[in-house]
Amino acid sequence: MIACDVQNLNPINGKITGASAKSELVKSKLPNTILGKIWKLSDIDRDGMLDADEFALAMHLVNLKLEGHELPMELPEHLVPPTKQAVNGI
C-alpha cells in the first residue's frame, strides 16, 4: 500500500500540481498510461491540479490497481469525495 500526505507535496492554495502529484504517483511503478487514467479519474473538477480529496482518491486508485483490480471507465458515484459531489452533479 502506498500512502503520502498531500502537505509533503507543497500544495499551492490547497492544491498540488500535476508535476508534484506525478513525482509521488510514479513511485507505484505503474505504467504512465495507467497513471494518466488515474489522473483523469481523480481530477474531478478538471482544473489540472489535485486538492487533498482528489489526491486521496488518486492514491486509493493506485492502491486498487496494485492489488490487481481493474480501474473503472468512469468514476463510480461511491468513490466521488463528498466535497466533489456537487461538481459531479450528484
Burial class (CB in 10 A: 0-12, 13-18, 19+), 42: buried
Q: At a CB cut-off of 8 Å and minimum separation 6, what does 5 contact?
A: none
| Of residues 73 and 88, more confidently modeled | 73
Q: What is the pLDDT of residue 84?
A: 85
- pLDDT band, very low/low/confident/very high, at 90 (cuts 50, 70, 90): low
Asked whether 29 and 59 are in contact (CB, 8 A), the reply is no
| Assessment of whether the complete model's pTM goes beyond 0.75 | yes
pLDDT digits (tens, 9 = 90+) for 7-62: 677 788 889 998 888 888 999 999 999 999 999 999 999 999 999 999 999 999 99
Q: What counts of helices (H) and strands (E) characterise the chain?
A: 3, 2
24: left (phi over 0), alpha (psi -120 to 50) or beta: alpha
Name the residue ranges covered by the structural domains of the chain. 6-84
Q: What is the CATH number of domain 6-84?
A: 1.10.238.10
Dihedral angle of Cα 45, 68, 70, 63, to the nearest 10 degrees? -10
Q: Residue 7 and residue 49: Cα distance in Å, rounded?
A: 14
